[in-house]
Amino acid sequence: MDTSPHGYSVNPVCCNGCGACAAMVPELFEMDEEAEKPVVLLAEAPAEDIERAMGICPHDCIEMD
């Protein structure tokens, strides 16, 4: 299992602001209620946490560097 830190991002075009990532992985994302998009909270995070978020996003908008 890859536990090394990676950068991660959200593709804002793809994201519909459902909030699932921030609800399920709050250590990595917080919803910007005005923009209705998630904000990335960390510069880097363990790959396993990013992969967990990627698995939750219904539109595959979360990308790992």
Interface region with ligand SF4, contact rule CB under 6 A, candidates 1-9, 13-21, 44-52: 13-21
Assess 40 for contact with ligand SF4 (CB under 6 A): no
Q: Which of 35, 39, 50, 37 is nearest to 4 (CA)?
A: 50
Choice from 19, 49, 52, 63 touching ligand SF4 (CB under 6 A)? 19
Look at the chain and count its residues: 65
List, in order, residues 6 or more apart from 40 with CB less than 8 Å away: 8, 9, 10, 28, 29
3-state secondary structure of 46: strand
Q: Give the count of residues interacting with ligand SF4 (CB under 6 A).
A: 14
Q: Which is nearer to ligand SF4, 16 or 44 (CB)?
A: 16
- Name the site residues for ligand SF4 (rule: CB under 6 A): 10, 15-21, 38, 56-57, 59, 61-62
